[in-house]
Structure 1
Amino acid sequence: MSKLIYLDNAATTKTAPEVLEAMIPYFTEYYGNPSSVYSFAAQNKDVITTQREIIADTLGAQPNEIYFTAGGSEADNWALKAAAEAYEGKGKHIITTKIEHHAILHTAEYLKTRGFEITYLDVDEDGLVNLEELERAIRPDTILISVMFANNEIGTIEPIKEIGEIAKEHDILFHTDAVQAFGQIPIQVDEYHIDMLSASAHKLNGPKGIGFLYIRKGVKIRSFIHGGAQERKRRAGTENVPGIVGLGAAVKRAAATMNARAIKETELRDYLIKRVLEEIPYTRLNGHAVKRLPNNANFSFRFIEGESLLIRLDMAGICGSSGSACTSGSLDPSHVLLAIGLPHEIAHGSLRLTLNEENTKEEMDYVVEQLKEIVQNLRNMSPLYEDFMRKEKK
């Protein structure tokens, strides 16, 4: 098959043509520094304000609650580190989960070196947080709860509204890493009682290197980057005007197409899942069967190794992943799959396929046929599979 089949949209998405078109003039024509006083440059301040309004409207937020960052990882770092610093007088206890993105987990580990205590909540076999366990974890000195909106590997959507209600009831800040969810499913910050939210443009057909952190008005968050007065003195540095314009265009596009995309991607996702589970034995679906992102399918194939599977899929023109792109060089199994209870040997044989609205049923058929052949070939080389089949025949 000559056509490339791209099924790694959780890692990054293709920049949409209309997004690129919106950005180009701000590289070549309207290139002024927004902080300069002359009109040629200062007009870009208005352009930035317009993008804040677009994003805020999507979230049911206020424009002055949107702060631009260099991406989701920076937004996550900012939320945790600055909140910890601002509220440590109240307490030094933070609650998160074992399946967070490493931008959260590694930041939490850093905060432990600064004297903070971190509680990592377990999840069930579908990747869902237990609300009763969350309630039990809350202490008088708890200052922040950070739970991702939807998991980047297995696609499970967390009970964010209920978590937000618990946080509000206990007067605790609530942050959610919505990098995978924003632009995929509707999010309203007031409805979900969200105090801070992280997002990134390149996950929704925008450019890389730009994202934002929503910070509810009244939340005490310190500056993350010191220097100039940009971002209302909370994040110094000359604004990335082309990136901000691209982010705004991507958000506008995502909001306008969200319902249609969700319907198409869910239909294709379920078709793919059904065929894989029915036609490839000793396979399991990871993540919740229903409460999952429209475009996410994550499988574990027993008796094979995920890296070999990815290499052979690549040779067949199919782009997938074994988990987060941020840990693609690691030989360790996914911390997410271990957290949902998979043993190491099964977690190692996992595959994440994440779709976009351009994928087709014909592509899914091709992917399934390739998977069937590749998985069987890899199993035929596995002593574990040979031993298992010998025992099955007895």
Structure 2
Amino acid sequence: MFGFLGENLRLAVVGKNSSFSILSSSRCISSATNQHSLTVSYLINSSSFPPKSALIVSKNVYFETLTQPDSVFSLLKNHGFSQTQILELVQSHPKLLMCNPEEVLLPKLDFFNSIGLSTFDIAKHTLLLDRSLKSQIIPNFSFLKALIKSDEKTVAAINRCPFVLTLDCKRDMASKVNLLRENGVLESSIVTLVYYWPRIFSMNFDKVKSLVEEARDMGFDPSKRIFVAGVRSLKSMSKSTWEKKVDVYKRWNLSEADVLSAFRKVPEFMEISEDKIMGVMDLFVKKLDCESSLIVKSPLIMTFSLEKRLIPRALVLEFLVSKGLVKKNYRGTNFFCCPETTFLQRFVNHFEEASELLRLYGKKLSV
């Protein structure tokens, strides 16, 4: 009898506790919902956030008081960030609103300001605010500056590829810089690589070593500035992509040796798309009746825009030939490679038919 009574009593207590647990959970959910609504309301009404943006940010932050986000917004405004920039910063990194602005944000903003990074730069590269100032940002900046030897160029390199400050430069970059030096790459070329293409240094060491060896095997001289351009081009494509582009050039009676010769002169020769290769070769071989070897002799032609430079200039050339102003076999690569001002002076304004040529050239350019 007592056993039966005890079991019923136990079930009653469990049932009571279960009800309490459910009630507590409901209160927690209700509290979280209220907090979420308050955050959305605060961002919209106090900080002029669009409702959609406020909703997204509110899912990643929790405010015990509004003093914290208020102080963050105030600090950003006092440092010259516009409302739009603040919105972009907070959308990218909502938890900025939960940090201590005086201890976390202010030192970073002061440092970035001291090296010449503008609020525009910081707003554009929000990941800069994610990293530790003492253990990453300052040591990496110091390493880059020692290598590049210019505050202005170091900042420009960071602007071009801000993630470079997220690397462990002393470990990741230093080993690859030493690899380049050991292979006879000029110091100025290494600086060029860091300045223009720092992303290479985020690659696995063995991959960088393989690229350096491949460039040497292809005939690039490490003591020449073009060596690092060759490395960068090889990095930009897989072997299968390289082979597909070689096959496209072969369709125009160029050999693999021809392609390699052109690549050594102008590494960008292999960076263009297969469609563009076909378009440029079609223009010169079929439309202008040139030998395909012209492209090997002057591979820079392949790097120019088909629509904005090559076709408009080809139309001018055809006009000049039709009027007998240049010989039919005139195929000077300088015609296509010279700067715009030189082209207009030598091949348009130089002739009495300049007004007609300008109309023809200008019309195609506008199209």
User: Normalising TM by the smaller chain, what interval?
Assistant: under 0.3
Structure having the larger proportion of residues in strand? 1
Instruction: Return the index of the structure with the highest Cα Rg.
Output: 2
Larger RCO, structures 1/2 (Cα 8 Å, 6+ apart): 1
* TM norm structure 1: 0.23
* TM norm structure 2: 0.24
